[in-house]
Amino acid sequence: MAITMRSSINALADNGFVAAGYKVFQIDCGWQSYTRNSTTGSLAVDSTNFPSGLKPLADLARQRGMVWGMYTDEGVLACDTATPRPGSLGHEAADAAFFASLGAVYVKVDNCYVTSDSNAPKTARTDFPSRFGNMTKALRSNGIDLALACQWGVPYSSSTGLEGPDQWAPAVNYTSYRLSDDITNDWVSVIRISNQLMHIALAGRTGPGAFADADLLEVGNGQLTLDESRSHFALWAMGKSPLFISTDVAGASADTLAILLNTRLIAINQDSLGQPVKLVQRWSNDRDLYAGALAGGDVAVLLVEHGGYARTLTVDFATLGIASADVLDLWTGATSTGATSYSAAVGAHGNVALRLSRVTYTTTAAPTLNWYEAESATLSNGANIQTCTGCSGGKKAGYIGTLTFTGVRTSQATTNVRFDYVNGDVQFSFSNYTNARGASVSVNGGTATEVYFPISGYNWDTDVWKSFLVELSGFNTSGPNTITINGGTYLSQYAPDFDRIGVVA
């Protein structure tokens, strides 16, 4: 194993990865011996796999231009699916001192075996801040400031309700936190994690000091198509996730190298402002549009194809409140000046990734909206009214069977309807779920539109997604309209809870 790692370190340097910005070489689970160091009490190195220890590898990484990162687990045992190795719970000081002796500057802290009989617990816990905080205290006392809280997005049960790691991990000095459960090597997993990142980005809880970590890149591992790999990389890069390669770069294909070494997207990821792109609008089963600010006034734009077929996608800059901009295509390098839109051919699950500069914004006033509360709508098929601290009127409609809004008035036959909703249904790996709840929405009895609402947070009482845009047609501009929401689709058994809807007056 030591020989393989030495080869990987050299391959990263020799193939341009270090020069492109990949600066942390982190060893993961499996380096530990099954017993602790009898003298220091710290974790010991598996001498079978690493007969010379880890120091020569750490030194080589530094010689090749990288820094060294370690792995441990804040449980009694570590995440090893064969024979579990020791964790750091109760041994934080000794283990942190050992990591420092190797010159480590970064540590991934995992969450397996909080008790010896539970490998990967996914139920809410009350001890995340205290347990994980003990490790960062020990790390910082040994000069190690960079740490990842890898607890898979499992809810923290606080005194005020459930919270995600974006809410508690920064307060105990984690500079990054795993926003979701582990990635698996498939497109559904990419969707699941990107859906979970959306509410974190909108809330402004990822950025300098504490970045949301979307887990390893699966680019080059053989299951994602080329277009899916490009979208996966673009989502992680523009979402400002740390970019950790998990493939064998020494044997990587030209396509894999081109994705992982895309310096234009890496520059977006490493932009000094550190702000992720945010979801602007979802056209369910079709495309997602994101945009985000960059240092110096530039704007990052990402349009991801979700229809599952090759076509030409167009970004209309007016949708972003932009009148014109200079455009850099982050995949092809093509440029244009003073553009009002940009089109590109993409494959199934492909993307258009852009950097806009010299941006001129529109001066259109925000529209006047008519709002309609869910508690005033007609509820049927099991739907009921519930209290909701974060909702506009202190109430919401839940257990949606059917929710019907009547008397809806708008001046537009086709319009973006605003949905304020709550979805705290956090989902995990190996489930084929996508961290979204579905509903069918129809106007005046017309053909229903399937809409997929990403999770809005962890707390069903407070975490309301405000003004989620859904483009709907079939409105009567001269009289009242009816909007009907039916719960559940093939994607999910249940719909989210709804606070209110808003339409352009």
Express each pLDDT in 128-141 by its tens digit: 999 999 999 999 99
How long is the chain?
A: 505
For 300, 305, 316, 338, the CA distances from 341, given in Å and listed in that order, are 14, 17, 5, 9
Tell me which long-range contacts 101-104 makes (C-beta under 8 A, separation of at least 24).
102/54, 102/55, 102/58, 102/68, 102/70, 103/58, 103/59, 103/62, 103/68, 104/58, 104/68, 104/69, 104/70, 104/144
- Please report, in angstroms and rounded to a whole number, the separation of the first and last CA atoms in the chain: 65
**Of the candidates 237, 205, 226, 152, which has an alpha carbon nearest to the alpha carbon of residue 429?**
152
Between the alpha carbon of residue 149 and those of residues 164, 165, 170, 261, 281, the distances in Å are 12, 8, 9, 27, 30
Q: What per-residue confidence (pLDDT) applies to 268? A: 98
Closest listed residue to residue 54, CA positions, set 30, 21, 24: 30
Give CA–CA dist 195/189, Å, rounded: 10
Q: Please list the alpha-helical segments (H only) found in 217-363.
A: 226-238, 254-260, 263-269
pLDDT at residue number 190: 98
Is there a contact between 32 and 86 (Cβ–Cβ < 8 Å)?
yes
Sign of CA dihedral 14, 17, 20, 24: negative
| Residue-level pLDDT at 431 | 84
Residue 1 has a pLDDT of 77
pLDDT at residue 492 in the model: 80
Q: Are 469 and 429 in contact (CB under 8 A)?
A: no
3-state secondary structure 78-135: CCCCCCCCECCCCCHHHHHHHHHHCCCCEEEEECCCCCCCCCCCCCCECCHHHHHHHH
Asked if 97 and 129 count as a contact pair (C-beta separation under 8 A), the reply is: no
pLDDT of residue 204: 97
Say what the pLDDT of residue 445 is.
Answer: 97
Average pLDDT, the chain: 96
Residue 260 has pLDDT above 90, yes or no: yes
Take residue 88 and report the two structure tokens written for it.
Answer: 């750091």
What's the confidence (pLDDT) of residue 337?
98
Residue 341's Cβ-count burial label (10 Å; 0-12, 13-18, 19+) is middle
Q: Which two tokens stand for residue 274?
A: 């550190």
Closest C-alpha to 197, from 128, 265, 299, 278: 278
pLDDT score, position 327? 98
pLDDT in tens, 418-451: 999 999 999 999 888 899 999 999 999 999 999 9
Q: Is a pLDDT exceeding 90 seen at residue 108?
A: yes
The three-class DSSP label of residue 493 is coil
* pLDDT > 90? residue 84: no
pLDDT score of 432: 83
Active site residue 110: yes
Q: Of 247, 240, 192, which Cα lies nearest the Cα of 213?
A: 240
Among the listed residues 182, 186, 248, 329, the single catalytic one is: 182
Residue 282 CA to residue 302 CA, distance in Å, equals: 12
pLDDT at 436: 96
- Tell me if residue 182 is catalytic: yes
What is the C-alpha to C-alpha distance for residues 250 and 66, in angstroms, rounded to an integer?
A: 17
- Distance, CA of 197 to CA of 237 (rounded, Å): 12
Query: Is residue 51 pLDDT above 80, yes or no?
Result: yes
pLDDT at residue 81 is higher than 80: no
What pLDDT score was predicted for residue 83?
84
Per-residue confidence band for 493, with pLDDT thresholds at 50, 70 and 90: confident
Q: Residue 410: which pLDDT band, with cuts at 50, 70 and 90?
A: very high
Judge if pTM exceeds 0.85. Answer: yes
The predicted-structure confidence for 328-361, as pLDDT tens digits, reads as follows 999 999 999 999 999 999 999 999 999 999 999 9
Read off the pLDDT band of 118 (50, 70, 90): confident
The HSE-up count of residue 319 (CA atoms within 13 Å, CB side) is 21
What per-residue confidence (pLDDT) applies to 82?
A: 78
Question: 403, 378 in Cβ contact below 8 A?
Answer: yes
Catalytic residue among 46, 95, 110, 215: 110
**Which residues lie below 8 Å from residue 414, measured CB to CB, with a gap of 6+?**
471, 472, 473, 474, 475
pLDDT bin (cut points 50, 70, 90) of residue 234 is very high
Has residue 326 got a pLDDT over 90? yes
Distance, in Å, from the CA atom of 151 to the CA atom of 148, rounded to the nearest integer, reads 9
- Tell me, what's the pLDDT at 481? 98
- Looking at residue 349, what is its pLDDT? 98
